[in-house]
Amino acid sequence: MKRSFVIPAVLAIITMFLVSPVAAATSQGLEWGVATGDRFDYTMTSTEEDVPSEDIYINITATSSDAIPDPLADWTNIPEHDLGFWWANGTSMGLSTIIFLGVYFVGGKFALPTGNWTLIQDLLETEISDEDYISDANLWGVEWSQTENATHEFRITATYSKSDGFLAEYKLETWDTSEDTIVSSIEVTREGLPAGGGGLDDIIQLLEDNILYVGIGIAVLVVLGIACKRR
């Protein structure tokens, strides 16, 4: 193979990966996984008498007109989308959306950019305290706790789908720490979520999150292969 052809061929391979869907990502690998009109259905269960156990859905009425800052250096600079909150029968939840007040204790976001969950966690760590983080192949989330008294603790958990960045599960719980039992709870769980991953799933997710670098790596291997073949 002539050298004059090798360089254009390699550039073409690299370009193929650069124009893939991750091309819209920021230099930190962040991009939106949601769009205007997206709908997410949830099952809500509650032990509280004044909170009904009914299905609800959240839809994105308009995505933010603001681009994800590049670089993103502050959690509060993550753009927010316009959302609608509805009961399953199509009636607006109205004041009942107050059940989601706890989201604001764990960052206040219903949608997060995908592609760099390490960065997302680093940014949130500067905003809140007394939190723990959750991460597997499919979900990333945060749990925040606050002691109420000697035997009771209040916990708020919010997890997000790594594939689209939207809220996957939200929990408000009061725990009896002396018995390690839940005293009361409100849980909102998104329907159709994949089961928690591990092993091969984690590897696949890692490859998906870094597909651009994988592509460039393949291109480099092609270059080395061509160079070795010409010797």
What are 91-124's pLDDT values in tens digits?
A: 999 999 999 999 999 999 999 999 999 999 999 9
User: Mean per-residue pLDDT for 48-62?
Assistant: 93
Band of residue 56 on the pLDDT scale cut at 50, 70, 90: very high
b/e 95-124 (16+ beta carbons within 10 angstroms → b): ebeebbebbebbbbbbbbbbbbbebbeebb
pTM: 0.77
Tokens of 187: 């849980």
In the sheet where 139-147 sits, what is the strand order?
Answer: 82-87, 55-62, 39-46, 181-190, 167-176, 152-161, 139-147, 131-135
Mean pLDDT, the chain, rounded, equals 85
CB distance 59 to 83 below 8 Å? yes
Share of the chain above pLDDT 90, in %: 70
Residues whose CB is less than 8 angstroms from the CB of residue 5 and which lie 6 or more positions away in sequence, other chains included: none
Q: What is the pLDDT of residue 215?
A: 58
Q: What is the pLDDT of residue 188?
A: 98
What are 165-218's pLDDT values in tens digits?
A: 999 999 999 999 999 999 999 999 999 987 654 444 444 445 555 555 555 666
Please state which of the ranges 20-29, 31-40, 174-183 shows the lowest mean pLDDT.
20-29
User: Mean per-residue pLDDT for 36-63?
Assistant: 95
Q: What is the pLDDT of residue 169?
A: 98
CB distance 26 to 77 below 8 Å? no
Q: Say whether pLDDT at 4 is over 50.
A: yes
Angle (nearest 5°) at CA 76 between 73 and 82: 125
User: Mean per-residue pLDDT for 135-161?
Assistant: 97
Q: What is the rounded distance in angstroms from the CA atom of residue 204 to the CA atom of residue 195? A: 14
DSSP-derived 3-state class of residue 22: helix
Q: What is the pLDDT of residue 50?
A: 84
Each domain of the chain, given as residue ranges in start order, spans 1-30+199-231, 32-197
| Between residues 42 and 9, the one the model is more confident about | 42
How would you class 198 by CB atoms within 10 Å of its CB: exposed for 0-12, middle for 13-18, buried for 19 or more?
exposed
Cis (ω within 30 of 0) for the bond into 21?
Answer: no
